[in-house]
A and B are shown apart, each in its own frame.
Chain A
Amino acid sequence: MDAFLGGMATLGDPFILLMVVAGTLLGIVVGALPGISGSTTIALLLPFTIGLSPIAALAFMGSVYCAANFGGSITAIMVNAPGDPSASATAIEGYKLAQKGQAGVALGMSAVSSAIGGIVSVVVLIFAAPLLARAAYSFGPPEYFALAIFGLSMCAAIGGESRVKNLIAAAIGVLLATVGIDLTSGIDRFSFGITELSDGIDFVPVLIGLFAVSEMLEQATLRGVPATIIAYTSAKLPSWADFRKCNRSIWIGSGIGTFIGALPALGATTAALVGYAETRRWSKHKHEFGHGSLEGVAGPEAANNAAVGGSMVPTLALGVPGSATTAIILAGLMVQGVRPGPHLFTEQPTLLYAVFASMLAANLLYLVMGMGMAKIFARISLIPPTLLWPGVFVLSVIGAYGPNQAIGDVVVMLAAGVVGFLFRRHGFSPAPLIMGLVLGRMVEETLKQSMIIFDQSVAGFAGRPIALGLLLVTAIGLFGPALLRLVRRGVPA
């Protein structure tokens, strides 16, 4: 308890507080910009954190990480260009809301649900990190295989009206995930001698192409049609009724995000997509999904920010990074001479609680800043399309190029833009394709790893209760409703 209070008290230090404020602001900005992620920013600033005290350095990096995940939702909602991959699920419903003139409501809801998700996960981190971290050891390839199948099983339901089309999009995503060098055989697949492709199709350019570029192409076909004047209601913030409606989605998202984030092999993007699918599954307003559902913003945003706290679990408690960003934070910790692991919780609790306190503070800060800025950002809707969309394209180019500095990624983005455009015209949705791309690689790799571990015998799965349980849940989710209907029909009324 003393350590807890001591940690919280560090926020009284004006310098630490300044680091948190600076980190939060920077995080929102880089998160919103496609092409610069929280992880890139932390990597670039790593050398400068050496001069800081461990607490100040960690407070800074933690704040950037928390805020960047929220920042991604701003561009996702306003121009359909997810600033951060984890915001792709937010773009699905958020941008629809912005088109309906409810940008402010979507942005405000994103800030609130992000903050709640973030805070829930930090609280879990404070009380259950060492315990939750042990779960990571129970998850080997067979369990991840089952989990990935569970995720893919949701693809039929998310996205467009037609289940067949959703499944086709998902399968194409899985097929795209096989491009590049196969992990278990070292064979180059579908890369046609292009170096960039041999590492696999990068997720970011596909995302930007499918969402932002295809939207620009769509807008291009609307020229001549008088532009829909988006009412000034854009700047309106969510009401109490809105929050009450989304309450359940936020908690579902927070729970899923914390759990998925805590698994080292899965990150915020998966958390957000699964959060989106589950929010829809349990929603009372299913018909709104795909047409601008506020719950569809709240669920994934809570999930991706909960995944931030979640991914700190294995990072701090096991010394194994839970995401790309925590890998860099881990390096930063090591440089500061802090050795993560279970002992950190007993040996340096004050440092740990100071980190938690600063993450909590960052979550509250971007909530305040986000609410304040929502009114301003919402006015992006008022920029004339003739200036806005060419600008979005230019930002998309730098967004695709930035992470790997490869022109090949720009080509992939353009191709994805055309695919996304054709998808829209023929009633396909990009959401299942993204899900397939994210999980496809995991399905194949964990299956092959499992088979090596089981000496090439499928029977090996029988000895893995967690994997079997997850597969069972998947089967119930897929066939349960149909079975239930059959049974009901069988029972005489």
Chain B
Amino acid sequence: MSLSRLLPAGVFVVIVVFLAIGLTRDPSVIPTEMIDREIPSFELPELREDEVMLTTSDLIGETALVNVFGSWCVACLQEHPTLMELSQAGTVRIVGVNWRDKRDDALTWLAKHGDPYSDIIFDAESDLVIEMGVTGAPETFIIDPAGRIRYKQIGPITPDVWRETIRPVLDAIAREQETNL
């Protein structure tokens, strides 16, 4: 068989490969630009104590999960039990970013579902959230003690996500810290 006979089949295979890659990618997941960058500087009030201002320095010194949530966010309820568990076990510091919310709504929501956060940054105007390249809630950043973003989880932290994705990153950071000491 001559080569030109194979050409249509070849073109077909190329198209199949392109479609296989193109159609199986989720277009709503945008790769984050923020990995290995420092968290942007900010100065925003604490949700629960409005006279307290939180700044970038409050996020430095300890590995933390920075969790973007809001009382309007349905999927946040899905990960909330996991966050509560982690917080009660004292596994990792969890900082909340309360996004595009009303203070009262957020406080009611936390009273109802529990409050796993060591600190909550009240970001009603998206000031910090947009500088962190957030596209929706929930999103969770893992930051190392130097305040660098090491990972971004888009969507809820289910027990599976915790086991397979988040914990390995935390372990890696912990190992790094040990070798640095």
A and B physically associate: no
